[in-house]
Amino acid sequence: MGSKNPAMEKIPLYLKTDPKMPRPQDQEYYLLAQDGLYFCRNHPFFKSDVPTERLPRWLEEHKSKCEFRFPKLGQAALEFIVGFFDRIYEWYGSEAIVFLLWNPQKKRHRLLVPEQEATVWQSVAGPRSAQDVRYELPKLIPPGYILVGDIHSHADHTAHSSWTDQKDERHRDGLHGVVGRIDQEPPDFHLELVVDGQRFRVDFDLFFEGYEKRRRIVPRAWTDKVKVKVEGPWWTSSPR
């Protein structure tokens, strides 16, 4: 693996997987260690290991990518989710969130609504503006299920990944959906998959089987999980 002429031959690349790893005898080589990449020389007058950002030229380019393989969520489930968001917006003008669970054995989804507190800003004139929704990741997940993602609403705002969403989801691998313009039918939908801190946009049809219209009857057990904090110029209160 010697490299006497770097212009003509590949400079070898070694991985340091053992602290007692013998020093390679190549005239020049790269060494990838836990703290980064080094360019090393075995010169007649010295031996050197210098940190470098210059990668081996013989490496081919590569780009981040993700092949989406999530099982689709049924149309009825999505319509119930939108109906739930619509009810919370109608009552409080706030956002809300639903977690997505998956059972690998039974191969089916399950929706889980956590305890949550949404914040809205109410002006002196009366209109409310949704601010955010706070929640805790579920500690108790039904046996056989795993947490694979979540969908939350942006009330009457557009469906997009806000700065807060991206910060909260940076270390939460999985599917993250947003439903916006809940005051319209159909509303807006936005989906992204987060893997190791990288976000990948997901088309509607890749995950949802379809959508016709929101369900008008939603479980009371869902709406009871939502508490709302109202903030304004002179007060902070909770109607529930």
pTM score, two decimals? 0.81
Tell me if 68 is assigned to some domain.
no
Count of domains observed in the chain: 2
CA distance 187 to 157: 10
Q: Give the pLDDT confidence of 77-118 residue by residue, as tens digits.
A: 999 999 999 999 999 999 999 999 999 999 999 999 999 999
CATH number at residue 179: 3.40.140.10
Q: Are residues 21 and 115 in the same domain?
A: no
Alpha helix segments (H runs only) across the chain:
75-92, 163-169, 204-207, 220-223
Same-domain status, 45 and 86: no
Name residues whose C-beta falls within 8 Å of residue 66's C-beta, 6 or more positions apart in sequence: 193, 195, 198, 200
Helix (H) or strand (E) holding 192: strand 188-195
Residues 169 and 214 in one domain: yes
Which residues span the domain enclosing 109?
75-237
Does residue 214 share a domain with residue 109?
Answer: yes
What's the mean per-residue pLDDT of the chain? 91
In the block, which residue shows the tokens 């809300």?
Answer: 96
Place of tokens 């801190």: 197
18-66 tens-digit pLDDT? 999 999 999 999 999 999 999 999 999 999 999 999 999 899 999 999 9
Q: Are residues 111 and 162 located together in one domain of the fold?
A: yes
Q: Say if 67 falls within a structural domain.
A: no
Residues 124-164 have pLDDT tens digits of: 776 788 888 999 888 889 999 999 999 999 999 999 998 88
Q: Is residue 152 assigned to a domain?
A: yes
